[in-house]
Amino acid sequence: GAGVSQSPRYKVAKRGQDVALRCDPISGHVSLFWYQQALGQGPEFLTYFQNEAQLDKSGLPSDRFFAERPEGSVSTLKIQRTQQEDSAVYLCASSLAYNEQFFGPGTRLTVL
């Protein structure tokens, strides 16, 4: 399809494990965003890329969270030493420079 895709759709991790979440944006979209959505809440901004440059990472909750987009296309959100409070849906969105953001289906992370 032509939309934003994310994998895996569901991830269960034991506390302390590292996880990697992948986002494939819409082809040609310059901007890429990561959000965290807790149950019953609205998405919360984590970080933003313009091409391969990470221009804003102010929303990352701790240094255990790391995102990269090395070639300006696919992005990976990595969470090290996962904690129970990291359980959430992680959403990726992409957009042309100043246009609407198109969201992927999200990855539901459950930390046991």
Partner 1 sequence: GESVGLHLPTLSVQEGDNSIINCAYSNSASDYFIWYKQESGKGPQFIIDIRSNMDKRQGQRVTVLLNKTVKHLSLQIAATQPGDSAVYFCAEPDSGGGADGLTFGKGTHLIIQP
Interface residues toward partner 1, by CB under 8 A: 4, 31, 33, 35, 40-48, 50, 56, 59, 91, 93, 95, 97-106
User: What's the closest the beta carbon of residue 109 comes to partner 1, in angstroms?
Assistant: 15
Q: Which is nearer to partner 1, 62 or 99 (CB)?
A: 99
Nearest residue (CB) to partner 1, 82 versus 94:
94
In the bound complex, what is the minimum distance in angstroms from residue 110's beta carbon to partner 1?
Answer: 15
Q: Provide the β-strand partners of residue 43.
A: none
Query: Cα-flanking dihedrals φ and ψ of residue 43, to 5°?
Result: -60, 145
Give the integer Cα–Cα distance in Å for 13 and 82: 8
In the complex, the smallest distance separating the C-beta of residue 105 from partner 1, rounded to whole angstroms, is 5
What is the C-alpha separation between 15 and 12, in angstroms, rounded?
10
Q: In the structure encoding, which two tokens stand for residue 71, read together?
A: 């070639």
